Structure 1
Amino acid sequence: MSSSVSAGPRIRLGNRDGGSLQIACGALIALSGALTAFAFNAIHAKGWIDLEVYREGGAAVLRHTSVYDLIVGERWLKFTYSPFAAILFTPLALVEMEVAVALWVLISILALEALIWILVGRAAVRSRSRRATHTLLVVIAILPLYPVTLTLWNGQIGIILLLAIVLDLTHGKEKWCGIVTGIAAGIKLTPLIFIPYLLVTRRFRAALMAGLGFLGTVILGFLLLPADSRDYWGGAFFDTQRVVAEQGANFFNQSLRGMLMLIPGSWPTTPLWLALCAIVGAGGLLVAAWTAKKAGEIAGITACAIVGLLVSPVSWPHHWVWCIPLLVLWAQRAQRVDATLEKVGVGFLWFIFLLPGYIALAILLIYPSHAGMWLMLLTGSYVLSGLLTLLALAVYFGRSNRLRRRHGSGDE
């Protein structure tokens, strides 16, 4: 039935052997971010555009008006999440925007710190003080990354969902494992990629629970918002025009489809995109399952998330917050095997998720007429990094298997 999950040590709330100063510093970082966001939004009223959409979606539910007729802000943004998500966002409509911004940033940074605490724990750091120190240092290194900064700046839900999925699939009780991932998919559809992943890894009960969790959010949406649910599940959920104009031709769409749409000329991109999705999706899920078996469940679900980002019709840079576990896990491996080349690789990958996004944004804002191929190269670095990650995992584990078989046949 279900395969065993290798997820590293469980979260322990006992073991008080220090780390109070580091934990206080982490809390101070989260509080400082929240207060800065509150002040900036109060003075300039700019940023947190996605949070504003969430808030307006919740307000529409309270007003009993259509969520999917909303037009928010000067950029004419629309609500693109599920009716269930709109229901969850109603508390945001009960407070002023500045308060919502501060609370959202605070929760997001705390979620980031909790995620990194879990990832650091995989390295079997026994001392709580040392684990807290490592967590604090990694948080400081991760916060400036473009996907992370953009998530906080836009008020996106990505880091919160990432933590929820990791906790559910690696630290949850086996009986309920998968249900939170299904609920996360009911908020934002991209976590649906974990259901086929759970099936491939033979975690059938978890896949069933994820499916039931997702189905529960759909049913609740129909019960409480029947008209909006008919609109959304009747086709709005697949309408990429609600997310990005010109059929996905946007420099910041970091998916296979987004990259194909940037290739000059008039040619049918959809058939090629679907073919690539089939290849990358099927092959990537097999690689993710292989990774889970060889390197642990967190590594497996990270590889699975990368597959989802690549095959999704739209993957904005802030969707790539899955670079957090990717970087931390690779850094741990590089340290463990003490390989200089791998340490350099970790640094290069950190650089990719740090600078290109900022450079691309600056070019668009300052020299929009000079964007062209430079932006395509800069923003395509995420897609290339994802593809190379999956390829490297496949080559590495394939080579390890061949060496093991050769060694075994030699012994015989």
Structure 2
Amino acid sequence: MAQGAKRTIGQVVSVCGLAVAVALFLSVAAVRHGFFDLKVYYGALNFWVHDGGEIYDFLKPGTQYGFTYPPFAALAMLPMAALPWTSAIVVSVAASVLVSAVLIWWLVDPIARRAGWTRWYALALALLLAAAFEPMRETVNFGQVNMLLLFLVAVDLLRLLPAGNRWAGVGIGLAAAIKLTPGIFVVYLLVTGRWRAALTAVGTAATASLVAAALFPDASREFWTSALWNTGRVGELAFVSNQSLRGVVARLNPEHPSTLAWAVLVLATLAVWAWRSRAAAAAGDEATGLALTGAVMCLISPVTWVHHLVWLLPGLILLVDNGMAAPARSRRRRVLLASAAIGYGFLISRIVWAWEKDFTGVDGFLGSNTYVWISLALLLFLPVRRWAAPAGLGSAGGPPPAGSAVEASGVAQLDQTERGRSAGQRHVVGRPLAVR
């Protein structure tokens, strides 16, 4: 049998083996949330469209949870009200899986080609590993929109912005109109001097919000004057699923969490993020800018449930990218790949839930905030890829020429020196809360 055929058979067998392992792991580790959040969306939309109620007055029966997103999100989800419940589940899962596959392809494919890995094989392994990633599986099991928002932002930062496309910023604007927290990426554009893209993002978000206000004035008035400020609708700040700096402070003193301490931590975190983001932008490394801003968004948001941490996925992939770019058998390669493996291992483990009932003591402080420490580590230590070319290389209509220093995806390629070092590498390193 030819060497190529043997290699393909081996890859197929290993993919099937990993698929079985992931399925077994999920059967034990994955919590079945019964599409809880999707039920809230679905119930609120049907209450609004079919029962004549106001969407922000709806609460899922037996809970305090209701629709918490801006009116444009309700407009975007409106077709759900015409679907049977089973169809709504299918659409939700299919959409999350599709955009996840595309995003992971953008980030993994350049690494695979640079390292000499078979591209379909690298993508298959990455997708299977992503399926075990706790924030990803929580997003799917809750019926959440996190991956859709990450995808919209990534379209801008990984595809349009590096190509100099005049539509860069539209994805960020739409994401911010659907949910407010991705608005931090407008700040990223401003901090890094991309004024036109920032204005496009602001204009898109404003236009989307005004369209929703024109169509649904009562719902818009209710959201901006009342529902937005009702923090009781989103859950308990000290709950272990809240893996933000606010959650850390709240768990220190659940009865009287210090707003001052939280504010100081947020300001210090933002200062570090601004400094590191400017360095990434100066190197043309938009993928690292995406990862750093996703991490800081999780840290500074008052509420970051575990499923929101899908924003850490680009950072983990980029750790592998940086590791594979380092010289073979170097200490840098070992440290970076080990860091990616450790971070991933914790983020599939559900470790924070060991302190769900009692997060007191030193072990409670360290363990219940494990995912916060990972977010901080990525913000502080994720390398900026200095081999990245300035943003704008490549044409707006497709990928740059062969040998270009940057992909249309915005994921940088090695220069010839580093390419030579990496040539020949052929292996892959291996709450019941509601609408949050």
**TM norm. shorter chain > 0.5:** yes
- 2:338 is the alignment partner of 1:349: no
Partner of 2:217: 226
Following the alignment from structure 2 to structure 1, what is the Cα–Cα distance between the partners of residues 254 and 97?
43
Task: Kindly indicate whether the alpha-carbon contact (under 8 Å) linking 1:105 and 1:155 is maintained by their aligned counterparts in 2.
Answer: yes
* CA deviation after TM superposition for structure 1 residue 153, in Å: 0.5
Q: 1:177 to 1:61 in 2, by over 3 A?
A: farther
Partner of 1:378: 367
Partner of 1:237: 228
Partner of 1:50: 37
Following the alignment from structure 2 to structure 1, what is the Cα–Cα distance between the partners of residues 370 and 208?
35
Task: Kindly indicate whether the alpha-carbon contact (under 8 Å) linking 2:172 and 2:182 is maintained by their aligned counterparts in 1.
Answer: yes
Following the alignment from structure 1 to structure 2, what is the Cα–Cα distance between the partners of residues 201 and 118?
22
* CA deviation after TM superposition for structure 1 residue 353, in Å: 0.7
Task: Kindly indicate whether the alpha-carbon contact (under 8 Å) linking 2:153 and 2:175 is maintained by their aligned counterparts in 1.
Answer: yes
Partner of 2:58: 70
Following the alignment from structure 1 to structure 2, what is the Cα–Cα distance between the partners of residues 240 and 394?
36
- 2:134 is the alignment partner of 1:140: no
Partner of 2:180: 189
Q: 1:162 to 1:395 in 2, by over 3 A?
A: closer
Under a length normalisation based on structure 2, what TM-score does the superposition of the two structures give? Answer: 0.74
Following the alignment from structure 2 to structure 1, what is the Cα–Cα distance between the partners of residues 117 and 84?
38
Following the alignment from structure 1 to structure 2, what is the Cα–Cα distance between the partners of residues 320 and 127?
28
Following the alignment from structure 2 to structure 1, what is the Cα–Cα distance between the partners of residues 384 and 78?
47
Partner of 1:209: 200
Aligned match of 1:110 in 64, 76, 98? Answer: 98
Partner of 2:152: 164
Partner of 1:250: 239
Q: 1:157 to 1:268 in 2, by over 3 A?
A: closer
- Corresponding letter in the other structure for 1:216: T
* CA deviation after TM superposition for structure 1 residue 286, in Å: 2.4
- RMSD, matched Cα: 3.1
Partner of 2:119: 131
Following the alignment from structure 2 to structure 1, what is the Cα–Cα distance between the partners of residues 251 and 138?
22
Q: 1:224 to 1:334 in 2, by over 3 A?
A: same
Following the alignment from structure 2 to structure 1, what is the Cα–Cα distance between the partners of residues 218 and 275?
39
* CA deviation after TM superposition for structure 1 residue 237, in Å: 1.6
* CA deviation after TM superposition for structure 1 residue 55, in Å: 1.5
- 2:248 is the alignment partner of 1:259: yes
Q: 1:126 to 1:384 in 2, by over 3 A?
A: closer
Partner of 2:141: 153
Task: Kindly indicate whether the alpha-carbon contact (under 8 Å) linking 2:146 and 2:308 is maintained by their aligned counterparts in 1.
Answer: yes
Structure (1 or 2) with the greater helix fraction: 1
* CA deviation after TM superposition for structure 1 residue 117, in Å: 0.5
Partner of 1:405: none
Partner of 1:59: 46
Aligned match of 1:330 in 309, 319, 325? Answer: 319
Higher relative contact order (CA 8 A, sep 6+): 2
Task: Give percent identity, aligned residues only.
Answer: 30
SS in structure 1 of the partner of residue 113 of structure 2: coil
Q: What is the number of residues matched between the two proteins?
A: 356
- 2:264 is the alignment partner of 1:270: no
Q: 1:107 to 1:375 in 2, by over 3 A?
A: farther
Flag structure 2 segments of 5+ consecutive residues without an equivalent: 1-7, 27-31, 387-436
Following the alignment from structure 2 to structure 1, what is the Cα–Cα distance between the partners of residues 206 and 84?
32
* CA deviation after TM superposition for structure 1 residue 74, in Å: 3.2
Task: Kindly indicate whether the alpha-carbon contact (under 8 Å) linking 1:61 and 1:86 is maintained by their aligned counterparts in 2.
Answer: no
Following the alignment from structure 2 to structure 1, what is the Cα–Cα distance between the partners of residues 382 and 337?
16
Following the alignment from structure 1 to structure 2, what is the Cα–Cα distance between the partners of residues 375 and 89?
39
* CA deviation after TM superposition for structure 1 residue 75, in Å: 3.0
